């Protein structure tokens, strides 16, 4: 049986967590930098959200996943069963059950409050967004990592490994952001600001910080935990319904895990660099 432990050699979570923590610590030095960080993080995160269904469609249309116990060979395709375990990560992304809106809309609600906290005008926000010239390459990396051909079992399993790693690290990143941005400043100006404001939707009213905490904190289990379990189950189904060994599935998936480690580290290093550059310009001004 394939478990998360099989991928420790491909992913050093402690190193990635350290990079994430450093970027977050740099961001909380001013409201403007907090907003800058979150603008970049929201865009980066969105590239995962709309890439997952693409992979699910590929797996579901593939002829590579068949039940060897099926009485009739033409009725043995189990691609949709494998895809379902990957797709579970997308359900809340499209519609949060408490608010009735997508996670992207929740993220924008948080960004709106960060804009208000920093006292930024709409024009200033657009300048921050337009000033970024490095993130498109990283979001394209994510899109490519989720892309596979339905005739290639190796490509699909590699993409599934990338997805499994993303769901594993996903809970960590949101927990770290919550700890440094909010928990560490709970009694400070930012913590009080978040407590005093609400994000209102037709189906419910929540804290602007809701988008962060639903993904998990240091004391609560978020949606990513179940998604990570399902992603590992998808790999087990891939082994069950294909003609290759578990060891081969782990090897192929491990390539995707390593890709996730690469892009996650690159993103947080780069956003940290931009924060330092922005802060230096502010001091010089």
**pLDDT tens-digit map of 78-103:** 999 999 999 998 888 999 999 999 99
Least confident of 13-17, 214-218, 242-246: 214-218
Distance (Å, whole) CA 9 – CA 5 = 9
Domain 4-284 has what CATH class? mainly alpha
**How confident is the model at residue 92, as a pLDDT?**
85
**How confident is the model at residue 224, as a pLDDT?**
57
Distance (Å, whole) CA 227 – CA 282 = 40
**How confident is the model at residue 61, as a pLDDT?**
98
Q: Tell me 66's DSSP state.
A: B
Predicted TM-score (pTM) above 0.85: yes
Where are the chain's structural domains? 4-284
Q: What percent of the chain has pLDDT above 70? A: 95
CA–chain centroid gap for 193, Å, is 26
CA diameter of the chain: 74
**How confident is the model at residue 83, as a pLDDT?**
98
Average pLDDT over residues 210-225: 73
**How confident is the model at residue 221, as a pLDDT?**
61
């Amino acid at each position: 049986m394939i478990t998360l432990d099989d991928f420790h050699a491909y992913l050093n979570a402690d190193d990635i967590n350290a990079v994430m923590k450093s970027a977050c610590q740099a961001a909380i030095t001013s409201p403007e930098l907090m907003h800058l960080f979150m603008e970049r993080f929201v865009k980066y995160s969105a590239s995962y959200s709309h890439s997952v269904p693409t992979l699910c469609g590929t797996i579901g249309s593939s002829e590579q996943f068949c039940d060897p116990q099926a009485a009739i060979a033409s009725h043995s395709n189990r691609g949709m069963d494998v895809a379902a375990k990957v797709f579970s990560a997308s359900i809340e992304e499209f519609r949060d059950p408490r608010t009735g809106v997508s996670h992207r809309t929740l993220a924008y609600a948080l960004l709106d409050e960060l804009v208000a906290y920093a006292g930024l005008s709409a024009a200033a926000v657009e300048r921050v967004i337009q000033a970024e010239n490095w993130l498109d390459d990283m979001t394209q990396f994510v899109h490519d990592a989720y892309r596979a051909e339905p005739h290639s079992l190796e490509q699909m399993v590699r993409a599934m490994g990338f997805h499994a790693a993303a769901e594993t690290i996903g809970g960590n990143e949101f927990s770290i952001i919550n700890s440094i941005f909010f928990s560490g400043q709970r009694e400070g100006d930012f913590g009080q600001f978040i407590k005093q404001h609400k994000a209102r939707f037709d189906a419910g009213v929540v804290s602007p910080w809701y988008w962060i905490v639903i993904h998990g904190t240091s004391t609560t289990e978020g949606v990513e935990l179940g998604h990570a379990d399902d992603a590992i189950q998808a790999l087990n189904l891939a082994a069950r319904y294909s003609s290759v060994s578990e060891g081969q599935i782990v090897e192929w998936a491990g390539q995707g895990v390593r890709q996730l480690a690469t892009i996650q580290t690159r993103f947080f290093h780069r956003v940290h660099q931009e924060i330092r550059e922005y802060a230096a310009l502010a001091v010089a001004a």
